[in-house]
Amino acid sequence: MPPLPIRRHADGPCPGAISIVLEQPGKPVVVLDLELIQRIESTLRLVPRDAAGLILESASERVFVAGADLRSIRELSDDQLERYLAYGSKVFGMLSACPFPTVAAINGAALGGGLEIAMHCDALIACKPPMRDGQPGKPYPVGLPESGLSICPGWGGASLLPALMDPAEAIRRTATGTPLTFDEAVNHNLFSEVADDRHDLEETCLEWLARNRGSTPPRDGPPLRWAGRLATRATVLAALDSIRPDLPDTPSARAVAAAVDTGLSGGWQAALSSEQRSLVHLRHTPEAIKAIDGFFAKSAGPKA
């Protein structure tokens, strides 16, 4: 599988840093289908181990990544879907294993699997929505909307988001499938930094990498920031216990809560396994079938 475009920064704030550009020519937005994940893997294998840092960015003008491939989630057999999810986890884990700091450059909507791959990086740095007629543009969404389709995240999102923002709010939004707007994400301190516009986004990322070069902690498998880390475990557990009675009584909300709980007691791989088992099961439920079919029908728009 051909690698994705790689840019090597020879000068500037962080000489020796690498940018990987997520692209899908011919498609309006970037979606994490199997082919793209394969290209991400082949590209990460080309990144030199002595790089000063890595920026994960998107070629799309409108979004960072729109999400996982919903058609694969809807149509693959159980065994095929399990392999697709496990493979995605393996490739995303390569980001978490990089021996240098990594940052996701969020230039637009980051939803579902798009936010999950970003959260495997050490930091999320975003840019403000583009101006429209001299006025601030419409805030773009950032979050995990899967429960809105009666399914659940499948690449660790339920256990990643609570480590990046208020954990009770993160669990509630994941369990209800309610993304944050850009402004809400800023208010919840989801981003390590915010650039004024897309033109400044890469420079802001490079400056962050330069400040954090040489300070990357030992890599131990899971992403740098997830709910089960010692620094966040007790806070996330307390948040889960406090909010659980108020979560919707739906299979998807229960799956989200169970994944967080399982991860806190059993570790990162247990959290992933919990999510992926639930996702494979939930996509067969009548509620999920109806919701996903409705999503495709709405996406197709009116027929000529």
Band the pLDDT of 109: cuts 50, 70, 90. Answer: very high
Residue 139: both structure tokens together? 């805030």
Band the pLDDT of 302: cuts 50, 70, 90. Answer: very low
Q: What is the pLDDT of residues 209-252, one digit of tens each?
A: 999 998 888 899 999 999 999 999 999 999 999 999 999 999 99
Q: Global pTM?
A: 0.97
| Domain 6-300 CATH superfamily | 2-enoyl-CoA Hydratase; Chain A, domain 1 (3.90.226.10)
Q: Residue 288 contacts by C-beta under 8 Å, 6 or more apart in sequence?
A: 149, 150, 151, 252, 282
Sequential DSSP letters for 69-138: -HHHHHHS-HHHHHHHHHHHHHHHHHHHT-SS-EEEEE-SEEETHHHHHHHTSSEEEEEPPPPBTTBPPP
